[in-house]
Chain A
Amino acid sequence: MAGSEIAAPTAPDTVKILIAGGFGVGKTTMVGSVSEIAPLRTEEALTTAGLGVDDLDGIEEKRATTVALDFGRITVSRELVLYLFGTPGQQRFWFMWNDLAVGALGAVVLIDVRRPESSFAAIDFFERRGIPFVVGVNGFHGAHPYPPDEVREALALPEHVQVMLCDARDRESCRDVLIALIDQLITKALQSNGTGRLARPAP
């Protein structure tokens, strides 16, 4: 990687967080609520997404050769920029998540309180890979019929995974969910510093 060693002095450091969950749970809405730019949309061609020909067989609609990615940006400082990526919601695009998850700080799994099952697979994905995440319960119409603990129980989430009630349309609400994720990461970093052990990636 000889070329990448000469970093331009003005280029900021970059990190990313994924916004995941089922189709229509409010991922794009959340990205738009906190991003300083209108959410951008780009396309990734499936043929170059690092999958073999066999993987394409599972895709019903073979004509759909690209998958759209929504993302937004938060400039933390002149030296640091945070990107938020909405993961493609449709089940058939989940192989994309592997690529997206590489190098992510963590994820927010959004849940539509009226149909939580649409985000079960997203939770499984991050749990299995040991990627830190928080759950944001998007209330739709401002209604939050279940308290966080009830949602946690229904989703069988471990104690350290925070469940937040939120409104994907509201900037401050979304910001608080992101802060909860960072706080979880800070707690984790402190714990591993404390024990002096190196945390191992999940198998």
Chain B
Amino acid sequence: MSGGDTAGRLVRPFALTGGRTRPSRADFTLITTVTAIDPPPAWSARPQAEQQRILRRCAEPVAVAELAALLDLPVSVVVIMLCDLLEAGRITARPPHPVSRTTDLDLLQKVRDGLGRL
């Protein structure tokens, strides 16, 4: 990556979030899966254009990192917009599988089987 073009790009995305640089909630990790709620609740306000773009991209479940890559926006910017959409009742967010020091065998076996099929 080149410092030049990234420095220039940072301005525009943050303009989309009203100058905020911090998500209001910590619900969104890189591999949190988000899904648009269809139909949207009657009480939710009409989403802005950039929010519409996100909603279209998560009609099917999609991970936050993928969403950011597909929209070509920094993860942190996408997360801020996802916070708004979550609060507006437009999306659901599924957190990643919790990983402990003794991760369950069942999960590990599933991952292993999946890799074996590659």
Contacts and interface: CB of A to CB of B under 8 A. Distances in A.
Given A71-B65, A76-B111, A171-B118, A4 B94 contact: yes
A4 B115 contact: no
Chain B contact residues, majority secondary structure: mixed
Interface in B11-57: 21-23, 25-27, 29-35, 37
A48 B22 contact: yes
A53 interface: no
A183 B9 CA distance: 42
A48 B101 CA distance: 28
Contacts, number: 193
Interface string A8-48: 10111111100000000000000000100000111111011
A80 B113 CA distance: 11
A83 B31 contact: yes
Contacts of B112: 179, 182-183, 186
B75 to A, nearest CB: 5
B56 to A, nearest CB: 16
25 contacts: A1-B95, A8-B35, A10-B35, A11-B35, A11-B92, A11-B94, A13-B94, A14-B63, A16-B30, A42-B65, A42-B69, A64-B6, A64-B7, A66-B9, A69-B75, A73-B63, A76-B110, A77-B110, A80-B97, A80-B107, A82-B111, A82-B114, A82-B115, A100-B30, A179-B112
Given A4-B93, A47-B76, 17 more contacts: A1-B95, A3-B25, A4-B86, A4-B94, A7-B92, A14-B96, A16-B31, A16-B96, A44-B75, A76-B113, A83-B31, A103-B96, A105-B108, A171-B118, A175-B118, A199-B102, A201-B101
Top 7 nearest A-B pairs by Cβ distance? A76-B114, A40-B69, A48-B76, A8-B35, A11-B61, A199-B101, A7-B94
Interface of B: 1, 3-4, 6-7, 9-10, 21-23, 25-27, 29-35, 37, 60-61, 63, 65-66, 68-70, 74-77, 86-87, 92-99, 101-105, 107-116, 118
